[in-house]
Amino acid sequence: MDSRRRQDDPSVATAALDFVRFCHRRKRVGWPELYDEMCHVASRGLYHGWGFAELAEHGIAFGLSEMPRLASLVAEVVTQTADRRPRMNVVALVPVMAASDALEEAPDEPRLSGAFVGAAR
């Protein structure tokens, strides 16, 4: 089976993405740091017992000419992971002077009340 045909095969593409997801779950980093983790996983057969030869059969190759394709797989996985991550609402709590307190205070000594401005959306 030639390499062009392997890349077009949906099962090969799925296996390649699954391998990258596996490595990304082990070490939450992006390209090029994830490349080191993928080499580590491949050298020890940590993903389904697959080494470099088995990964090559499933569309993952570590040669210089394969770097752009491998980098795009990593970018796809990192983007998918970021899209699935829950968004965090941030609230800015800023103390403000209450109007009733402002009337009672001397102009040179403002007192802060417990009122806050800001809300999560």
pLDDT in tens, 38-55: 999 999 999 999 999 999
Supply the DSSP symbol for 109: S
- The model's confidence at residue 12, banded by pLDDT at 50, 70 and 90, is confident
Q: Two tokens at 90?
A: 């941030």
CA distance 75 to 77: 6
In tens, the pLDDT along 63-94 reads 999 999 999 999 999 888 876 666 666 666 66
Residue 32 to residues 29, 41, 65, 75, Cα–Cα distance (Å): 8, 15, 15, 10
pLDDT band at residue 2 using 50, 70 and 90 as cut-offs = very low
Contact 10, 58 (CB under 8 A): no
Place of tokens 């059969």: 57
- Reading phi first (left if > 0) and then psi (alpha if -120 to 50, else beta), residue 39 is in alpha
